[in-house]
Structure 1
Amino acid sequence: MPEIVVHAVEGRSAEQKKNLMVKITDAVVESFGVDRDVVVVSIIETKATDKARGGIPYSERNKT
């Protein structure tokens, strides 16, 4: 059973996350030749204050 985990900063809508999960599932079905029912996709969200790139929290990035 393929299981895919996506790590992302919070802020996407439920519709955006569902769309991503459907597209990932489609790609795994096509690439691995498995049934849709065996593909598991999880989205792990992190608060922007709890994730950083280059030492700068996402909550502070792109502020002008």
Structure 2
Amino acid sequence: MPLIEVTLVEGRSPQQLRNLISGLTEAAVAAVDAPREAIRVVLREVPSTHFAAGDVTIAERLGAPDPRG
């Protein structure tokens, strides 16, 4: 049973999230020949202030002030 877990910054529409689930499911079916009903997809949405790369949050990249001052 493939389990696909994705963490992404919140803000996408329900339709976009549903499309992502479908696309990931189809990719798993094609890549590992898993039965569709055995594939699990978990999406975790996090606030832009809780997702960072290189010590810069997504919120800061989008123009929010650094709360450290």
Is the TM value for this pair above 0.5? yes
Question: Any idea what SS the aligned residue of 1:5 has?
Answer: strand
What is the match of residue 13 of structure 2?
13
TM-score (norm 1): 0.90
Shift of 1:51: 1.5
Partner Cα separation in structure 1 for residue 12 and residue 59 of structure 2: 15
Structure 2: gaps spanning 5 or more residues: 64-69
TM-score (norm 2): 0.84
Shift of 1:32: 1.1
Runs of 4 or more, structure 1, over 3 Å off, are none
Question: Identical aligned pairs, as a percentage?
Answer: 37
Structure 1: gaps spanning 5 or more residues: none
Counterpart AA for 1:38: A
**Structural mapping, 1:15-54, within 5 Å:** 15-54=15-54
Matched, 1:56 2:34: no
Is the radius of gyration larger for structure 1 or structure 2? Answer: 2
Partner Cα separation in structure 1 for residue 28 and residue 58 of structure 2: 30
